[in-house]
Amino acid sequence: WTSGILSSSDPVQQVSSSYSKMKVTLALALSAHALAYVAPKHNTVSVLSATKEDMAALAESNPDFLGQSLGLWDPLGCLNLDFWTLGNEATIGYLRHAEIKHGRVAMAAFLGYLAQSTPVVSGPHAKLPYSGYEPGLTPPEQWDAIPLAGKIQIFGIIGMLESYGEILPQHYCNGGLPGYYPPIKGNRFELIFNLYDPFNWFDENKDKVRGRQVEINNGRLAMLGIFSIISESKVPGSVPLITGLIPEYKGDYMVPFEADFSIFA
């Protein structure tokens, strides 16, 4: 197939064949990354205290508004499930870790949207930050303008960080601390900082229980915030509190490579 492409004298056929090959390669790479995840082995002698009753007590011990008013909220009954036959306690450990991690991602996304909306980021630049950059684009439009190679690099970094986050002294499904991210400084020559507390600003002597409660609450609020922004940008007027403040986005958030190609086109 490769030799056929190289020997072809039709430039249109060469471009078309190369483009198709690129789509297949990317699709295989993404599917391989997804299939690479292997659920951790369940430790039958678990030290994790993570029953549904424990989660109810943990939720009610939160002194903030959510804990005092809502308490435990599990409308889908996920705390009764058993993911990957790991056991119920391991499943609860997974769900606790997932909430904390997604809360952190949402906080980064919310603050990132605000930062990318400022003239400092979206305004004119003497030196373009990347090929294809245009002043005045909204945050999702900025993503669409990034070249495909840049987007693949970003996804590659995310995958690397996800992989490092699973290399734990004690996995969160087997009694480890939910939300813990291991030090990565020095694992590779380009890793000169840790992802958590890269500048050693946090005081480890402070109340970690209270700190985790604050982080969870802020993460939940950030998840509501970023989805409110996304909803308003797709359906103007759907979030009355911010109507008129968020520019409309014509693209599709669920198709991150829409500006480059479509696997199903």
Pairs from 138-143 (Cβ < 8 Å, separation ≥ 24) = 138/233, 138/247, 138/249, 139/112, 139/113, 140/233, 140/249, 140/251, 140/253, 141/249, 141/251, 142/116, 143/256
In the predicted structure, residue 4 carries a pLDDT above the cut 90: no
In the predicted structure, residue 15 carries a pLDDT above the cut 60: no
Considering only 30-39, 158-167, 244-253, which range has the smallest mean pLDDT?
A: 30-39
Over the stretch 232-241, which tens digit does the pLDDT of each residue have? 999 999 999 9
Mean pLDDT of the chain: 81
**pLDDT (0 to 100) of residue 265:** 62
Over the stretch 108-118, which tens digit does the pLDDT of each residue have? 999 999 999 99
**pLDDT (0 to 100) of residue 72:** 84
In the predicted structure, residue 81 carries a pLDDT above the cut 80: yes
In the predicted structure, residue 249 carries a pLDDT above the cut 80: yes
Q: Looking at residues 28-48, what average pLDDT do you find?
A: 43
Q: Looking at residues 11-29, what average pLDDT do you find?
A: 45
Cβ(51)–Cβ(92) under 8 Å? yes
